[in-house]
Chain A
Amino acid sequence: MTNPLNLFDRPNSYIGKTVPRPDARRLLEGRGRFVDDIQLPRMGHAAFLRSPHAHARIVSIDVAAARAHPGVIAVFTGAEMAQHVEPYVGVLTHLAGLRSAPQHPIAVDIARWQGEPVAMVIADSRATAEDAAELIEVEYDELPAACDAETALDPGTPVIHPAFGNNLAWERTVDVGDVDAAFARDDVTVVERTMRFGRHTGVTLEPRAAVAEFDPSEDRLTFHYSGQAPHMMQFIFAKHLGLPEENVRVVAEDVGGSFGIKIHTYGDEVATAAAAKVLRRPVKFVADRAESFMTDIHARDHVVEGRMAVTADGGIAALAFDDLTGIGPFSMYPRTSAIEANQVLNLTGAPYVVPNYRATARVVFQNKNMMCQYRAVGHPIAMAICDGLLEDAAAAIGMDPVAIRRRNLMRDDGYPCASASGMKLADLSHHKAMDRLVELMDYDRLRAENAALRAQGIHRGIGFCSMVEVTNPSPMFYGVGGAPIASQDGATLRLDAGGGLQVASSVTEQGQGTNAILAQIAAGVFGVPIERVRVKTGDTETVPYGGGTWASRGAGIGGEAMLQAALALKSQVLDVAAVILQARPDDLDIRDGSVTDANGTPRMTLSDLARTVYYRGNELPSDLTPELIATRHYRVTDFPFVFTNGAMAAHVEVDPDTGFVRVLDFWAVEDCGRVINPQLVDEQIRGGVVQGIGGALYEECLYSPEGQLLNTTMADYLVPMAGEMPDIHVAHVETPTRTSVLGAKGAGEAGTGGAPAAVMNAVNDALRPLGTSIWQMPMTPERILKALGRV
């Protein structure tokens, strides 16, 4: 039997190698299978009439003209839909005190954000459904709205859910050490900043999309889903539509980007499933871009008052902050909208030794679209707070930003240990990563070059971020609080008669290359060429039960399950081979699709073995019961999360006349444990960095004071384009996690989590000699000019 220690340098070991993705060719030839590509007989197309007001009572709603419109199949008001759907509430017990109100898929009586569905039309085409939706007459009684998170708790502000008495959804405080005493010391320098993080959103290029099929003869719902967590949705449809869970099939084939946007319960999607059930025919809903901006979850929206005290030699004496975040009128179901604030409290300062730490979070309701988990949940805020204040403090005491990090970063040989907030940390490498970063970017030369250019009136800056990323979450993330979200994942390998492997996994693919790394692990650990592995993911009917892909868990958790299942199948196959070949299993191996001697000499092909088992069982001893299929599940134990670390740097140029910031260069050194496919990891980091740069410089959902979303087109909401992005240099430190044999941690969110802090620090490095700094994201030209006092 293979010693696990040798798993990574065996023949057929694809782990650690760049292997092209099996899905690439299909997608390049126009053979993707996205939800909107599905056409079914008798399928109706849904369009939603949405509230034009941030807060309004629905006095009356007249759908008669819409119902009578040619081609219309059905119209549902909120009250009609409510008869078919049990309302849902986005709370979890481990977020003690979190409250939210019951939510309906379509507003009943009161609409609480602009864009909330008010009625649904199903017709023979989307165009017809939209025509009919325009014929619906709604009389609204506009109510005063609570839009601004910063005044949401003021006494005069309208209360969105009157039964709660105020707009507070949740609050939490962490208080470690003696913060007040540390700030009061006379040998510390204190910096203090108010930081604002605008709302932004995922802008998946494929909008949210759903096709629901219902077969009344079997009481069976099939939901084609552009999303990340099929089993979670299976539970949700079963519970809220009143179906047996096993009768709900959720299928996610190609997903055109997700980034956390497509992991939540959206009213329009629930209504689509319910309508298919009621109408006994398929219904399709695909959000258009305006609907995406108005209703895909938004993220961030934090105001932070932060303070840091450092000693003369740059040691962090204390870190304290108050975080306020607005989440819209409800906490999103089922993951809740308090997780981001919770993460901010958990993660801030985690790379550093912080002896005294106090943080409070307040999460408030407001009449805007809902806020929830998007790529790098909480990380950009947490990293910007600590690393922003740290570089501010460094400047205040005249210390280099790299030197102050080296002074405060936790020692690489000091793990396992805990962060100030109590997070268990292990296997991290902040100092190594920083050393690698400084070398990669040629830091001293760059500093000197910036200084020389400054003399010529060119204002460049360098900014850093030392970060941690939460990956491979255990049940402590959601399951512990009662959420129907699996933290374990499963993998099945089946040896087919032809000698190839059919493998299935409960993690999902949204473009990261999940299917590729699963194939690499299966092929390498079991012993077949990768071309002989077919991977199935994203179908509750055919894959093991599991959580899906989110929180950077696909490779680490799904990959380990695949590794364990491959080891199990290998052992089962060798047991059979040993009988056929009259050998000891320990003296056999599987390589290149054959059972071999320990030295690699082929003895029989896997297809010979499988055909003997499947077709000619008569040749086997009757007491041999071959199993050519194996399933294993894996979950992280002992640690709530498996943290990764990274060191990033941005190099920017600020034009003080226009306020424009150009990112000239970006470097990321990442330690995500064992790298399964270097190219895929690097591309995850690059894509993540670019989303982080978007949040730092461009992206913001802009609302009027009355709660009207002002930018609902791609022309008005700016995402990074090819022309303004730099090349991004990526390097790795590999410290495998001790929690698995595979040793892989996640990598999907690091870039998005760390880049905003690095870019903000770089902009401030450029601005400081001009006598100013900026603490609001996105750092738009207008805001930079304001900081410079030029407008």
Chain B
Amino acid sequence: MTQTRTITLTVNGDSVTRTVPVRMNLADFLRAELGLTGTHVGCEHGVCGACTLHVDDAPVRSCLMLAVQADGASVTTVEGLADSGRGAALRAAFTARNALQCGYCTPGMLASALDYIDTGGSADRAAIREHLSGNYCRCTGYQAIVDAVCDVIEGRVTA
């Protein structure tokens, strides 16, 4: 039950070594062990998307990945995005469109939306809605989020 293992990974550019219970998921590791509380947990079963972040540049649900599986990987959380400036235009567009209310879905929403934008997604509202359908937002009704993503893709907002 409480077996542990020592892992070394890069988190937001910093090398981190910790001994963790093997059953601890990546979201809990980041939040509880590293104090990176920007990663939010809404369901812990891979449905809501709140915990989405980037592992080796691919979007991952950090509640579905064990911390030990991230051994050797490079993890970028919402704090890392802010510090590096990546996604600044998207954050500006979210602000301008009020694409967040309570902000609980926002870190995961940003990670999924950035993935869409950075892999060349088009400003097609239906396609954006489809791409974001793994991220629940209970507050906004999604329209402002779609608007914000379109604004970035069509160059209406820059960082």
Q: Residues of A with Cβ closer than 8 Å to B?
A: 20-21, 23-32, 34, 36-37, 39, 127, 131, 202-207, 254-259, 288-289, 510-513, 679-680, 683, 686-691, 713-715, 719-725, 727-728
Q: Which residues of B contact A206 (CB under 8 A)?
A: 40, 42, 102, 104
Q: Which residues of B contact A21 (CB under 8 A)?
A: 95, 98
Q: CB < 8 Å: which of B45, B125, B136 contacts A205?
A: B136
* B40 A28 Cβ-Cβ under 8 A: no
Q: How far is the CA of A687 from the CA of B136 in the complex (A)?
A: 12
Chain B, 74-127, CB within 8 A of any chain A CB: 77-79, 81-82, 91, 94-96, 98, 100-107, 110, 125-126
Q: By the criterion CB–CB under 8 Å, are B140 and A683 in contact?
A: yes
Q: Which of A36, A39, A255, A722 lies at the interface centre, i.e. has the most chain B CB atoms within 10 A of its CB?
A: A722
- A723 and B140 form a contact (CB under 8 A): no
B101 touches A511 (CB 8 A): yes
Complex interface bits, B134-155 against A, C-beta within 8 A gives 1, otherwise 0? 0111111111111000000000
- Contact yes or no, A683 B98, CB < 8 A: yes
**10 cross-chain pairs, A with B, having the tightest CB-CB distances, nearest first:** A30-B38, A27-B103, A511-B102, A256-B104, A511-B101, A30-B78, A690-B141, A29-B82, A37-B37, A686-B141
**Is A39 in contact with B35, judged by CB distance below 8 angstroms?**
yes
Using CB atoms, name the residue of chain B closest to A23.
Answer: B103
Asked if A32 contacts B38 (CB within 8 A), the reply is yes
Kindly list chain B residues whose C-beta atoms are within 8 Å of the C-beta of A728: 141, 143
- Main secondary structure on chain A at its contact with chain B? loop
Closest B residue, CB atoms, query A27? B103
Q: Would you call B129 an interface residue if the criterion is a C-beta within 8 Å of the partner chain's C-beta atoms? A: yes
Q: A-B pairs with CB below 8 Å: how many?
A: 181
Which positions in B face A, CB cutoff 8 Å? 1, 21, 23-24, 31-32, 35-45, 47-48, 50, 77-79, 81-82, 91, 94-96, 98, 100-107, 110, 125-126, 128-130, 132-133, 135-146
Interchain CB contact under 8 A, B137 and A288: no
Contacts of B31 in A (CB 8 A): 36-37
Q: Is the CB of A722 within 8 A of B36?
A: no
Known interface pairs A690-B142, A713-B43. Does A723 touch B130 (Cβ–Cβ under 8 Å)? Answer: yes
What are 12 A-to-B residue pairs whose CB atoms are below 8 Å?
A24-B103, A28-B94, A28-B110, A30-B38, A31-B38, A32-B103, A37-B37, A202-B138, A205-B104, A511-B103, A683-B98, A725-B143
Residues on B with beta carbons closer than 8 Å to the beta carbon of A258: 102
A257, B95: Cβ atoms closer than 8 Å? no
Q: Which residues of A contact B103 (CB under 8 A)?
A: 23-24, 26-28, 32, 254, 256, 511
B54–chain A nearest beta-carbon distance, Å: 13
User: For residue A34, which residues in chain B have a CB less than 8 angstroms away from its CB?
Assistant: 37, 40, 104
Selected from A20, A29, A31, the residue in CB contact (under 8 A) with B98 is A20
CB-CB under 8 A for A30 and B36, given A20-B96, A205-B137, A714-B136: yes
Please indicate the chain B residues that have their CB under 8 angstroms from the CB of A687 in the complex: 101, 138-141
Q: Is the CB of B37 within 8 A of A713?
A: no
Q: Is the pair B104, A30 in contact by a Cβ cutoff of 8 Å?
A: no
CB neighbours (8 Å) of B81 from chain A are 29-30
B111 to chain A, nearest CB (A): 11
Q: Contacts A28-B95, A30-B82, A511-B101 given; indicate if A691 touches B144 (C-beta within 8 A).
A: no
| Contact B42–A289 (Cβ < 8 Å) | yes
Residues of A within 8 A of B141 (CB): 683, 686-690, 720, 725, 728
Beta-carbon contact of A721 and B95 below 8 Å: no
| Partner of A259 from B98, B128, B138 at Cβ < 8 Å | B138
What B residues does A723 contact at CB under 8 A? 126, 129-130, 132-133
Are B100 and A686 in touch, CB under 8 angstroms?
no
Known: A37-B37, A288-B44. A683 touches B136 (CB 8 A): no
CB–CB B104/A714 < 8 A: no
Q: From residue A442, how far is it (CB to closest CB) to chain B in Å?
A: 20
Minimum CB–CB distance from A595 to chain B (whole Å) comes to 32
12 other A-B residue contacts (CB within 8 Å) besides A25-B91, A714-B45, A714-B136: A21-B95, A26-B103, A37-B31, A127-B23, A131-B1, A205-B40, A205-B139, A206-B42, A207-B42, A690-B141, A690-B142, A713-B47
CB–CB A28/B106 < 8 A: yes
Task: Kindly state the separation between the CA atoms of A34 and B142 in the bound complex, as whole angstroms.
Answer: 22
Q: How far is the CB of B37 from chain A (nearest CB, A)?
A: 4
Contact B44 A289 (CB under 8 A): yes
* A30 and B140 within 8 A (CB): no
How many Å lie between the Cα of A230 and that of B48 in the bound state?
28
Among A254, A689, A719, contact of B102 (Cβ-Cβ < 8 Å) = A254
Which A residues touch B41, using CB under 8 A? 36
* Docked pose: A722 CA to B106 CA in angstroms: 14
CB distance from B33 to the nearest CB of A (A): 10
Interface residue from A26, A31, A511, A689 paired with B139 (Cβ < 8 Å): A511
**A675 to B39 CA separation, bound complex (whole angstroms):** 34
The chain A residue with its CB closest to the CB of B90 is A28
Asked whether, in the complex, the Cβ of A722 is within 8 Å of the Cβ of B38, the reply is no
Residues of chain B lying within 8 A (CB to CB) of residue A724: 133
Contacts of A203 in B (CB 8 A): 136, 138
Q: Give bound CA distance, A690 to B129, whole Å.
A: 14
Cα–Cα distance between A686 and B48 once the two chains are bound (Å)? 20
Point out which of A28, A512, A724 has the most chain B C-beta atoms below 10 A from its C-beta. A28
A550 to chain B, nearest CB (A): 15
Among B23, B47, B79, B136, the residue within 8 A (CB) of A30 is B79
Within the assembled complex, what's the spacing in Å between the Cα atoms of A715 and B102? 22
